[in-house]
Amino acid sequence: MSRAALSAVTLLLGAASASTGVAAQDLLYRYRPVEVQALARYGEQPYWRVLATCAGMHGALVNQYEAQARPAGGSAARARALAFMGSALRQAQADRGLDRSGALDLVTPAVNEGRVLGSALLQRRTNGYTAEQLVDVMCTQVSERHARATRGR
């Protein structure tokens, strides 16, 4: 991916990740340089927030697929969005001791930010990668790291 494309994605992600409150008990996502560079902005952010952002980005994909009359893509993106939302809610409940309603209140702003971010990304093409591919790679890396971080908990 070109430096200009990475800079654009990083700026978009930075704007979405700037307003996170972190509690001492939150399980944090720790960025590693082998991951997509755009995820660096989420380093030291609560997993629930990053997962909720991925849910929102996949929600933006659903909207795009529906607008393009691509039901198979919309169905797959919806399933991914729901999976990320479920993971975000469970992690928020575990971290903050919240019931489902409280967790939903906590993660909703990050989902909404993810939708805005996803919509902005979908208007770009980044050095041969489609926005769909970028969202998928970024969120898959987050999901895999989260699964490893919570294994045995």
Q: For 42-65, write each residue's pLDDT tens digit.
A: 888 999 999 999 999 999 999 999
130: helix, coil or strand? strand
Task: For residue 16, give both structure tokens.
Answer: 């979405």
pLDDT digits (tens, 9 = 90+) for 65-75: 999 898 898 99
Q: What global pTM score does this model have?
A: 0.82
126: helix, coil or strand? strand
Amino acid identity, residue 62? Answer: V
Mean pLDDT of 127-152: 86
Report whether pLDDT(26) > 50.
yes
Distance CA 73, CA 86 (A): 20
